[in-house]
């Protein structure tokens, strides 16, 4: 199923992101983790692509196993980093042959130890170029990244928003956001995106907080701000790992309920290859479904509805 069609239904989508494991043993563990989340009926599962294409083979392998062995819809991430255009065509050809219908096209992060993105000779400089090639040569539904608080390398928010528009013009049919903790940032982004003609679904990406030091590093790396009160409460529990995780799951549940109640088309969970926190959040959300389920009229008028 192509995902550009999946976001238009009456129910919100739930999806999970995993990174490819480093060994065959951990690959088996990952598939078990994904299996435990099937009960929630995910719209799709996505598999990331290591910096510099370092996990290319495992990304493709795990994506194929999720699709063929588990019977779940899958989105395979592919980046420009470290690949020529011909190498990328070979990757996409393999994915297409495996029956995978959805990809997330990204520029990608520099390999470890390299500070800035460098164009591979014979490769692409921007995600927009990758998306344009995919749109012209392959039948995939194409997703792309969006940044509610601006990409760290973008000079201004307006520049970054225009870049998102270029991705859509090149052929992206849905956007998935970087993680954030302030829902107003997401809705401001969506409102401004709609104002410049971006009409595709914009799915919020959310990460349940389970470790204070870890989330602080991730937030700094991707430029995600944290509400002052949440930061204060996390710091107060910094030496109590269980209390941090408990607060993190509670905050994430409230955050997701608010996003859905205000019309978001779904939630994409960054799982870090773990299922307990995501399971807890989804269990609470589904138990309180009537608290966040918007009416048909409210959803139709929502700023995140497909234009």
Q: Cα separations (Å) of 233 from 73, 241, 253, 280? A: 37, 13, 16, 20
> Alpha-carbon distance 41 to 20, whole Å?
21
Joined together, the tokens standing for residue 55 give: 């996990």
Label the pairing between strands 102-106 and 141-146.
parallel
Joined together, the tokens standing for residue 198 give: 């971006």
Residue 17 catalytic? Answer: yes
Name the E strands within the chain. 13-18, 44-47, 74-79, 102-106, 141-146, 174-179, 202-206, 266-270
Q: Cα separations (Å) of 12 from 227, 258, 268? A: 26, 13, 11
Strand partners, 78: 105
Catalytic residue among 17, 73, 101, 149: 17
Catalytic residues: 17
């Amino acid at each position: 199923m192509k995902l550009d069609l999946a976001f238009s239904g009456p129910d919100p989508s739930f999806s999970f992101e995993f990174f490819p494991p480093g060994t065959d043993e951990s690959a088996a563990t990952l598939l078990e983790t994904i299996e435990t989340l099937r009960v929630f009926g995910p719209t799709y599962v996505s598999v990331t692509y290591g910096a510099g294409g370092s996990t290319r083979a495992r990304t493709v392998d795990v994506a194929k196993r999720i699709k063929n062995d588990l019977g779940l819809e899958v989105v395979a991430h592919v980046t420009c980093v470290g690949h020529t255009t011909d190498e990328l065509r070979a990757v996409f050809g393999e994915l297409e042959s495996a029956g995978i219908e959805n990809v997330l096209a990204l520029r990608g992060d520099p390999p470890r130890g390299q500070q800035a993105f460098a164009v591979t000779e014979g490769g692409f400089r921007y995600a927009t170029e990758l998306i344009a090639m995919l749109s012209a040569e392959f039948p995939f539904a194409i997703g792309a990244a969006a940044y509610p608080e601006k990409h760290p390398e973008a000079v201004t928010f307006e520049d970054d928003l225009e870049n998102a528009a270029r991705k859509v013009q090149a052929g992206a049919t849905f956007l998935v956001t970087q993680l954030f903790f302030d829902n107003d940032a997401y809705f401001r982004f969506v409102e401004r995106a709609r104002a410049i003609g971006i009409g595709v679904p914009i799915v919020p990406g959310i990460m349940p907080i389970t470790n204070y030091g870890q989330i602080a590093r991730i937030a700094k790396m991707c430029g995600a701000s944290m509400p002052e009160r949440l930061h204060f409460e996390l710091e107060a529990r910094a030496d109590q790992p269980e209390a941090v995780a408990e607060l993190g799951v509670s905050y994430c549940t409230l955050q997701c309920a608010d996003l859905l109640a205000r019309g978001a088309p779904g939630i994409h969970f960054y799982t870090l290859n773990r299922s307990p926190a995501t399971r807890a959040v989804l269990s609470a959300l589904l138990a309180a479904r009537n608290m966040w389920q918007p009416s048909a009229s409210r959803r139709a008028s929502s700023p995140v509805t497909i234009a």
